Amino acid sequence: DIQMTQSPSSLSASVGDRVTITCRASQGISNYLAWYQQKPGTVPKLLIYGASTLQSGVPSRFSGGGFGTDFTLTISSLQPEDVATYYCQEYISAPWTFGRGTRVDI
């Protein structure tokens, strides 16, 4: 199985700050990397797929990058509604695996 390692596990930042979360795959996954946002008490929501393609309706302050084994999710200007846990997921080969999540607080 491919192991997905996220860092940090949690962070606290101020409104307007630039926030970056990293995700590392235990082996190369090309760009088959997705990011999900899960707000407290809700279902995970797909934010980004293909490492950098924003899902329809996702604010442009979110961006993704990377290829191979190292990936990033960046929030260019953190907003109160961005408080959530963010998960990366590889989808190059089953069993599809997720990172353990990064909790973002303000």
Q: Footprint of another protein on this chain (CB under 8 A)?
A: 1, 32, 34, 36, 43-46, 49, 55, 87, 89, 91-92, 94-101
Q: How far is the CB of 72 from another protein (least distance, A)?
A: 17
How many Å separate Cα 19 from the centre of its chain? 11
Q: How far is the CB of 16 from another protein (least distance, A)?
A: 29
Cα separation, 41 vs 58, in Å, equals 19
The tokens describing 84, both together, are 């959530």
| C-beta of 80 vs 87, nearer to another protein | 87
Cα separation, 60 vs 73, in Å, equals 12
Q: How far is the CB of 75 from another protein (least distance, A)?
A: 19
